Chain A
């Protein structure tokens, strides 16, 4: 009987060691029991990374299937080297009940490209008024551990305090979208000299920094964990640094686009560059890179936000916020962090896999590549270079800010739960992956 063996020859591990990897029955093993039947992958010159884990993905299903589905978003994730994504709750209906999060989780499991972990809404309907059934979602089959009203800030201080306390009861964490709504009414881009010139309403840094400052103090007061979504300013980095120095249990994420792109791109009013939080100044990009390299920022998360074409083929202030990011995340991180010498691949493994899994309380990512661990990994050719294009996307969204840009690196294989989802740089067929997933569960 086949044990779905995989033999990866000559891969370079994140720590730089060169080794062969063996997978059998979904797990890394010391040696194969049936080498002859094993799938052979030549990894000469390839960088092996633990399966990437995205803590911030918008899969749009249920409700917005024209933008993305669990299947299409999972495929976008797999081609980007991901083996797990956390799906935000701003669907329709909102992911604020056990029924919705269980549906999303099971769709992900059936499709089998990645582990889909739903994020539960903090408040009913993301309305910021009363707590959703956090306990119900935590104890559901979806075992929700991350709760967020992403897209909206839990701006009410009392509600945020209660949410931090209540979620801690279930061992979970609040992932806050830090944006003071009153300071950002109608905001269209980073507030500064450029917004003044372009006549676009400004989104001031203080609207993010003041919420983060309040939230770390609240987390400290109640002794709860706090996760800060998509940090975007140099000032936010300072607040996080201060909070960590005080021993406050806060983690922070940055998106690939905030590590690379600046507000100057808004100059042409091309809505592909419209995102929330907005693209900031080059000083902010520098501060974010430094903070990611020194660990002040814990993880990179994509904020993959697919939109239908018509949401971006319009005037700037009518356009939706957001960019797709799963397919390009690793390439952008390589460009911004690795190729600049700020990070090594072991750092990338930490902030794109191990730490996001730990924050999301996702098992199986703490001992990557060790015999006995579930095989979640990806093989990357770091020497590849390509002019990134819409044709490189695999989700439904085409709203990538990188079209036409040269990006380094290319994912050639992704192995999830011990079976391949990507081989030779291309996705495996959905039916094949579905069967592999069913087999892995059996």
Chain B
């Protein structure tokens, strides 16, 4: 694996391997000395063209636990002209000797452009590109689901037969896209639920079933219910009339939460709009995996950095 740009091009074997390495990394976190020397003298750059404290911090913690030198390069609001900035910044980072670039960008495809442009020779890790993909989020979600289901026996397992329902703004969600491909590759059955306005107009080729009835999805049963963050501003572009109406039809309200099977996981990539797409009770319940997702995010990002930068050649400590 040279770069991690999307989950669409991950095969099952590679995906399971990443999850297994992440298990090793999670184990390290439980030790007294939580740092590995693996990436000593390697330089990892966090290149964020878009604000994201959570993802940036998660990568920062992951890189530090692997003893990498970390540079936080916030390119947002840079005075460089918009069109030229990605190229210029990439060449600057190449000159600085970056071994890996973790990129977050508002443009779909920016990570791939960076990886294939020839502007820089570093490993490129997509930390979210526009409305395209966010592969480490999907990996940490899959990791979280696998751990909840298989616990200590997770290693080597996929998600065969697991039913996952993703609810909300699919159209604009890179989290949804990455999850659709990865979960399907791992054998899970994926169902999308959203108003028709927030579903892509054409889902040909997507390994999913799609609909707009959340209650029906709950009645049929699901092992994990993944609630996506909804942006209230969408109502101004006529995607839905009001946040209250959205919440009534597609929110995980207390009432809907009560109808879930007791072992249905409630997932959310964060940050949550409590009271909009998810009720406080659901978010704070034992079924909620929200905080596990955050902790697992560090393990996944350690695993990916390790595999990309150290090439996975060196046995883990």
Contacts and interface: CB of A to CB of B under 8 A. Distances in A.
A268 B83 contact: no
Interface in B83-127: 83-87, 105-110, 112-113, 116-117
Nearest to A191: B201
A204 interface: yes
Contact of A199 (B116, B131, B201, B203): B131
Interface in A171-199: 185, 188, 191-193, 195-199
Contacts of B131: 199-201
A206 B195 CA distance: 21
A191 B133 CA distance: 18
B205 interface: yes
B268 interface: no
Contacts of B130: 199-200, 317
Contacts of A195: 200, 202
A318 B107 contact: yes
A431 interface: no
A183 to B, nearest CB: 12
Interface stretch (A9-17, A24-32, A244-252, A306-314): A306-314
A402 interface: no
A316 B86 CA distance: 11
A321 to B, nearest CB: 13
A204 B8 CA distance: 24
A193 B82 CA distance: 29
A318 B83 contact: yes
B129 interface: yes
B3 to A, nearest CB: 14
B109 A196 contact: no
A319 interface: yes
A80 interface: no
Given A315-B110, A316-B107, A318-B82, A193 B202 contact: yes
B45 to A, nearest CB: 17
A170 interface: no
Interface string A243-272: 000000000000000000000000011000
Interface in B132-168: 132-133
B83 A198 contact: no
A315 B86 CA distance: 7
Contacts of B81: 310
Given A269-B113, A313-B87, A314-B83, A198 B132 contact: yes
Question: Which of B83, B110, B204 lies at the interface centre, i.e. has the most chain A CB atoms within 10 A of its CB?
Answer: B83
A202 interface: yes
A17 to B, nearest CB: 50
Nearest to B201: A191
Contacts of A268: 112, 116
B118 to A, nearest CB: 10
A193 B205 contact: yes
Given A268-B112, A317-B108, A196 B200 contact: yes
A314 B206 contact: no
Contacts of A320: 83
A269 B200 contact: no
Question: Which of B86, B174, B200 lies at the interface centre, i.e. has the most chain A CB atoms within 10 A of its CB?
Answer: B200
Interface string A99-138: 0000000000000000000000000000000000000000
B64 interface: no
B177 A199 contact: yes
A199 B206 contact: no
Contacts of B203: 193, 196
B108 A310 contact: no
Interface string B229-241: 0000000010000
Contacts of A313: 83-84, 87, 117
A192 B202 CA distance: 5
Contacts of B112: 268-269
Contact of B84 (A199, A269, A310): A310
A313 B132 CA distance: 20
B200 A315 contact: no
B113 A199 contact: no
A198 B108 contact: yes
Contact of A314 (B8, B86, B200, B204): B86
Contacts of B109: 198-200, 269, 315-316
Interface in A359-402: none
Question: Which of A185, A195, A269, A310 lies at the interface centre, i.e. has the most chain B CB atoms within 10 A of its CB?
Answer: A269
Contact of A202 (B84, B110, B201): B201
A316 B107 CA distance: 7
A198 B110 CA distance: 11
B202 A196 contact: yes
Given A192-B201, A313-B87, A314-B83, A269 B177 contact: no
Nearest to B205: A193
Contacts of A201: 131
A316 B113 contact: yes
Contacts of B84: 310, 313-314
Contacts of B177: 197, 199
Interface string B62-94: 000000000000000000011111110000000
Contacts of A185: 237
Contacts of B105: 315
B205 A199 contact: no
Contacts of B110: 269, 315-316
Interface string A297-337: 00000000000001101111111100000000000000000
B119 to A, nearest CB: 9
B108 A200 contact: yes
16 contacts: A192-B204, A193-B205, A195-B202, A196-B206, A197-B205, A199-B132, A204-B201, A310-B83, A310-B87, A311-B83, A313-B83, A314-B85, A315-B107, A317-B107, A317-B108, A319-B83
Give the top 10 A-B pairs by smallest Cβ distance, nearest first.
A269-B109, A196-B200, A199-B132, A315-B107, A199-B131, A193-B204, A199-B108, A193-B202, A315-B110, A314-B83
Given A197-B205, A317-B107, 20 more contacts: A188-B108, A191-B201, A192-B204, A195-B200, A196-B200, A196-B201, A196-B202, A199-B108, A199-B177, A200-B109, A201-B131, A269-B113, A310-B81, A310-B83, A311-B83, A313-B87, A314-B83, A318-B83, A318-B107, A319-B83
Interface of A: 185, 188, 191-193, 195-202, 204, 268-269, 310-311, 313-320
